[in-house]
Amino acid sequence: MSQIRSFLAIDLDDDFKPKINKIIKEFKKIDANIKFVDLNNLHFTLKFFGDIDTEGIDLISDRIEKVVNEPFNIKITGCGAFPNNNHIKVIWIGVESDELLVQLHDKLDKEFAAIGFDKDKKFSTHLTIGRMKSAKGKNQVKDVIEEFENVEIGEMNVSDIAFKKSTLKPSGPVYENLKTYDL
């Protein structure tokens, strides 16, 4: 029985990648140790499953298909850091008024809990754009985050979600859609 690393996500529309790339370029001007997410890998994670048996794919897929949801729009806006701007581990782009996205997450999380997955402690809607590997350049990184804290990326229609396989490679993760589900 083989295992795969997997997660459920909403892919970022290509239309928004140039705007996000401009922000990433501002961070790249800083002498900091940041590992940036490849533009083609940008996504909003709905559920991280971790390593699962390939036999479990159908079970997870059945639960995803049980969740009925209408397509909806999200407003992509703002830049911030986890856990906070003084201790930066993850640099992200956010979502304003994400109630419909949170509702979708909660419906899915309930289904996954029914088949043995832990419920998410705290769901935070965000698009990870980079991870800081050390405190080098932290103050300049903080300045750029604050410069873009109210940035408007745009409104995106969410009409499908993707069940993804993640293969870790030295160059970074490689994502492959196992299945896409229309909302």
Active-site position among 43, 63, 105, 138: 43
DSSP H helical ranges for the chain: 17-28, 57-66, 99-113, 138-147
Residues with Cβ < 8 Å from 21, sequence gap 6 or more? 39
Residue 28 tokens read as 């790249």
Please give the C-alpha separations between residue 132 and each of 29, 98, 103, 139, in angstroms, as whole numbers.
14, 26, 30, 12
Residue 87 is a catalytic residue:
no
Give the Cα separation of 48 and 84 in Å (integer).
22
Cβ atoms within 10 A of the Cβ of 153, count? Answer: 23
Nearest Cα to Cα of residue 137 among 20, 36, 29: 29
Active-site position among 126, 130, 137, 158: 126
Give the Cα separation of 11 and 22 in Å (integer).
19
Residue 43 is a catalytic residue:
yes
Give the Cα separation of 94 and 161 in Å (integer).
18
Residues with a catalytic annotation lie at 43, 126
